[in-house]
């Protein structure tokens, strides 16, 4: 097993997002126990022109991290209750991120952060150097197909972007 390095994340989000499927999300807890989860569902949010992307409204304290180099973590609270886990992609000044919507065992972006104890303290974490959260290559055979659908919960994004097939889900062969 090897940790994914910077070059994996500094590509366009539409390449990184489907590539994350089947990879392993690794979480080391405060008691030093380690758990690993297969990534099963993601969504891509792509730059200032994508009206569903938080960064499309410009740089704010919340979206700041998306303007940094790929490999960093973007975490924010939604509906007053749920932390959303995202990975920043592509180069500096190209605000893009992948939302992790599902992992094996916990389907749903709010459920997985609750179970992995991920909150705002992970904002800005670097997946390349962090000692509590990173991604590893899977040695499991890639026995799945990738299904694409429109993204969830972004009706406000306008016809063009809300219909983009930027949600990627693993499906058994």
Decide if 10 contacts 66 (C-beta within 8 A): no
Among 32, 81, 131, 141, binds DNA (CB under 7 A): 81
Q: Does 62 bind DNA (CB under 7 A)?
A: yes
Q: Does residue 165 interact with DNA by CB under 7 A?
A: no
Q: Cα separation of 56 and 65, whole Å?
A: 13
Residue 148 bridge partners (DSSP): 168
> What is the contact mask toward DNA in residues 34 to 53, using x (rule: CB under 7 A)?
---------x-x------xx
Helix, strand or coil, per DSSP, at residue 166: coil
Q: Which of 3, 14, 67, 76 binds DNA (CB under 7 A)?
A: 76
Per CB under 7 A, which region of 3-11, 29-37, 77-85, 163-171 contacts DNA?
77-85
> Among 162, 163, 148, which residue's Cα sits nearest to residue 42?
148
Nearest partner of 46 among 146, 167, 155, 170, judged by Cα: 167
Pick 33 or 61: Cβ nearer DNA? 61
Q: Which of 7, 36, 58, 171 contacts DNA by CB under 7 A?
A: 58
* Token code pair at residue 105: 């065992």
The owner of tokens 């991920």 is 118
Q: How far is the CB of 86 from DNA (least distance, A)?
A: 5
Cα–Cα distance measured from residue 21 to residue 108, given in angstroms and rounded to the nearest whole number = 15
| Among 31, 32, 49, 79, interactor with DNA by CB under 7 A | 79
**Residues making contact with DNA (CB under 7 A):** 43, 45, 52-54, 57-58, 60-63, 74, 76-82, 84, 86, 97, 99, 108-111, 120, 151-154, 156
């Amino acid at each position: 097993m090897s940790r994914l390095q910077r070059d994996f994340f500094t590509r366009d989000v539409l390449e990184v997002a489907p590539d994350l499927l089947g990879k392993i999300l690794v979480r080391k807890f405060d008691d030093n126990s380690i758990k690993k989860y297969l990534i099963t569902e993601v969504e891509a949010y792509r730059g200032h022109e994508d009206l569903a992307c938080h960064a499309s409204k410009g740089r704010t304290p919340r979206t700041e991290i998306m303007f940094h180099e790929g490999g960093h973590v973007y975490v924010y609270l939604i509906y007053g209750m749920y932390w959303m886990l995202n990975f920043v992609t592509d180069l500096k000044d190209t605000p893009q991120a992948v939302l992790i919507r599902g992992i094996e065992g916990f389907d749903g972006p709010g459920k997985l952060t609750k179970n992995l104890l991920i909150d705002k303290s992970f904002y800005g974490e670097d997946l390349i150097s962090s000692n509590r959260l990173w991604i590893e290559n899977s040695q499991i055979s890639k026995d799945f197909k990738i299904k694409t659908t429109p993204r969830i919960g972004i009706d406000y994004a306008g016809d063009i972007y809300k219909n983009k097939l930027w949600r990627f889900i693993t499906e058994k062969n």
